């Protein structure tokens, strides 16, 4: 049981770290909160809610992975390296594409309620 409690503590420490140091993650978390409030404001069905929550968590998780990979790359190669830049750019592209997908899905779901 002590290991489980410690695991939760470590996870909460990681959440604090990302919220304090990463502006992009804070922005994504704020947008996620707005979407969650909106999905409960409008009469969305369970499937719509499940899809929205899946997209929200997918984008947030990908941003976390992006951040971890960036930090590892900076640790392994502190000096500028074009190869590291390409890796970071590719990771950012993954998050960007997931975010675009989330926006499109959000528009598909919320469009009938807004317009």
Is residue 14 in a domain? Answer: no
Q: What is the pLDDT of residues 55-66, one digit of tens each?
A: 999 999 999 999
- Show the tokens assigned to 39: 């999905």
For residue 1, pLDDT over 90 is answered with no
User: The CATH number of the domain where 99 resides is what?
Assistant: 1.10.287.3610
For residue 79, pLDDT over 90 is answered with yes
- At 8, the pLDDT band (50, 70, 90 cuts) reads very high
Portion of the chain with pLDDT greater than 70, in percent? 100
Is residue 64 in a domain? Answer: yes
CA distances from 29 to 12, 42, 65 (A): 15, 20, 15
Tell me which residue range forms the domain holding 106. 23-114
Is residue 5 in a domain? Answer: no
Is residue 68 in a domain? Answer: yes
CA distance 52 to 102: 8
CA distance 104 to 52: 11
Structurally, the chain folds into a number of domains equal to: 1
Is residue 1 in a domain? Answer: no
- Show the tokens assigned to 78: 């502190």
């Amino acid at each position: 049981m002590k290991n489980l409690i410690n695991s939760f503590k470590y996870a909460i420490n990681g959440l604090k770290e990302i919220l304090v140091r990463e502006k992009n993650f804070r922005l994504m978390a704020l947008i996620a909160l707005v979407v969650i409030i909106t999905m409960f404001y409008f009469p969305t069905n369970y499937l719509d809610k499940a899809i929205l929550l899946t997209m929200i968590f997918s984008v947030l998780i990908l941003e976390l992975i992006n951040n971890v990979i960036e930090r590892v790359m900076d640790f392994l190669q502190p000096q500028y390296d074009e190869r590291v830049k390409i890796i970071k750019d590719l990771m950012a592209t993954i998050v960007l594409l997931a975010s675009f997908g989330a926006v499109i899905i959000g528009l598909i779901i919320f469009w009938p309620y807004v317009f």
